[in-house]
Amino acid sequence: MDNVTVFTHPLIQHKISILRDKRTGTNEFRALIEEIAMLMGFEALRDLPLQDVEVETPIETCMTPMIAGKKMAIVPILRAGLGMVNGILALVPSAKVGHIGLYRDEVTHEPHEYYCKLPSPIEQRTIVVTDPMVATGGSAVEAINFIKQYGGKHIKFMCIIAAPEGLKKLQEAHPDIQIYVGHLDRGLNENAYICPGLGDAGDRIFGTK
């Protein structure tokens, strides 16, 4: 599983446990999703390229490393992936943000696309796709299919909770991408919800239902 990182950091695990609690309200839920995305992003972006630039300190002039170029795109899968965007923007404020709209059919659990807008030149950007949940994996696989069709090449995928079957499907469909998972859960129930999971991430972030 070389291309998969499952986080073990206690801060991430602690915050995920609060997310799971059905008594956690919308305000706190939204803030935690953002914080976890930032903590995960810190690790997921550790391979951003650096270049030395000249800086004059109060003492002397030196060559010192800064992120090379500003070509990054964050691409949330709507709606729930939106909740993770600000956490990553806090790390890389200059990143551009694309959007992919997908919803999962409640009966078939198949993903349906309703929107796609990506920043150009997408092929030159490091792309971080966000969605808190990977259940069957259908939405993640489809979103990355779109990004690749539009020319995206350097793709990282971040989710907060994944089911093993969805993660396997994503890895098999897109072995070339880096995948970051906050916690790997037990599996899916008969409605393709993650167990124990946290319920419907989109509804809990936006207070719908």
Ligand X SMILES: O=P(O)(O)OC[C@H]1O[C@H](OP(=O)(O)OP(=O)(O)O)[C@H](O)[C@@H]1O
Bind-site residues for 5-phospho-alpha-D-ribose 1-diphosphate: 79, 104, 131-139, 200
Q: From the list 12, 40, 72, 133, which residue makes contact with ligand URA (rule: CB under 6 A)?
A: 133
Name residue 160's amino acid. I
Chain positions 163 to 202 lying near Mg ion, rule: CB under 5 A, are: 200, 202
Integer Rg of the chain from CA = 18
How many Å apart are CA 152 and CA 155, to the nearest integer?
7
Q: Which stretch binds ligand URA (CB under 6 A): 17-25, 27-35, 152-160, 190-198?
A: 190-198
Our finding on whether 200 is near ligand URA (CB under 6 A) is yes
Annotated catalytic residue: which of 26, 64, 108, 208?
108
Q: In the block, which residue shows the tokens 């060559």?
A: 63
Binding mask 54-93 for ligand URA (x = CB under 6 A): --------------------------x-------------
Our finding on whether 33 is near ligand URA (CB under 6 A) is no
Phi/psi for 157 (5° steps) reads -120, 130
Going by C-beta distance under 8 Å and a sequence separation of 6 or more, which residues neighbour residue 189?
A: 195
Cα-based angle 174, 98, 14 (whole degrees, multiple of 5): 70
Quick check: is 24 catalytic?
no
Using DSSP's 3-state secondary structure scheme, residue 28 falls into helix
Our finding on whether 35 is near ligand URA (CB under 6 A) is no
The enclosing H or E element of 108 equals none
How many Å apart are CA 19 and CA 23, to the nearest integer?
9
Q: From the list 109, 148, 153, 168, which residue makes contact with ligand X (rule: CB under 6 A)?
A: 109
Residues binding ligand X (CB under 6 A): 77-80, 102-104, 109, 111, 131-140, 166, 192, 200-202
